[in-house]
Amino acid sequence: MRVDKELAAGTYAKQICERLLIDLSYNSSRLEGNTYSLIDTEKLVVEGITAEGKIHEDSVMIMNHKEAILFLVENAEEIELNPFTIFNLHNLLSQDLLTNPESCGDIRKIEVNIGKSTYKPLNNPHLIRESLELLLLKARKIEDPIEQSFFVLAHMSYLQAFEDVNKRAARLASNIPFIKANLCPLSFTDISRNDYSAAMLIIYETNNVAPMVELFCYAYLRSCEQYQAGKTALGEIDAFRVQYRQQRKQVMGQVIEHGLHGKDIEQHIDNYCQKNTIEQSDKFIAMAITDLGSLHAGAIIGLGITQKQYEAWREEE
């Protein structure tokens, strides 16, 4: 489900951020055996309230997911499928959970075994790093976000580049293509832990990705259904509004900075349109005036003004 390709990367994820934080933190942690319920996860993520009777590790795992997801959403325009992003993502997910803190966000230097599997991941740190670089290089060459997402999910889980928290890192990294392309994110809703583990085991043992492909497709369709309301809430995107976003913010900031009101606002914006050769000036003026009318202190970032200037302008009305 694509929202709009003209929007800045991460726009859609930001619109549904709170729901995504709860759903993805809950489901990804649940697939690791975390005992938090969805309701308890929501209380912890939104209000910081720890559920009674839960082990400390479960609470930390949930909060680490929250931080890691926020990292991806808030930096959507800058992050790429590269080692820097993956190392930082792993560091956030594994903080305070690994015996050796230096292993957070760093290539594995010890041998690891996969439970119930005869598969032996690479053990040479140099080869592991090289393999991760190659994996991400190949991923960046994949143009389709859905194909790219699955490639990252399967190959990062298989490589086991880190001492622990590999599958969690893979699940969140697989959301990077969706977040950047303003596609519905993947929250792994309604995927059972047994089915997920079985599909991963088949990949480890036979390199057969078919069961995981089936799970992935089902999970993604469920996510699209789940976040359909989010798309509806966004409404239709006005291309003109997107095109002149920076100019609109600039002129609004000027109005406030100069303390303009009434007809002076319209005159100033009209002069701005002529000076900057803005097409459909009437539409631009109406849009800017409407935005000024609904402006509040929590939405002045990017206007080039201070809160003090905004408050002074409001008091003069």
Is residue 222 packed enough to be buried (19+ CB in 10 Å), middle (13-18) or exposed (0-12)?
middle
Q: With respect to residue 3, please indicate whether it lies within any of the assigned structural domains.
A: no
Q: With respect to residue 5, please indicate whether it lies within any of the assigned structural domains.
A: no
Question: Global pTM?
Answer: 0.71
The 10s digit of each residue's pLDDT in 219-251 is: 999 998 888 754 544 444 456 776 788 898 899
Domain holding 308, by residue range, is 239-315
Helix, strand, coil shares, percent, the chain, to 5: 65, 0, 35
Backbone angles phi and psi of 183, in degrees to 5: -100, 160
* 303 and 248 assigned to the same domain: yes
The answer to whether 38 and 29 have CB atoms below 8 angstroms apart is no
For 9, 13, 32, 185, the CA distances from 43, given in Å and listed in that order, are: 28, 20, 20, 22
Domain count, the chain: 2
E-strand spans in 153-235?
none
The 10s digit of each residue's pLDDT in 74-115 is: 888 889 999 999 999 999 999 999 988 899 999 999 998 888
* 30 and 82 assigned to the same domain: yes
* 208 and 298 assigned to the same domain: no
Residue 13 pLDDT grade (very low, low, confident, very high; cuts 50, 70, 90): confident
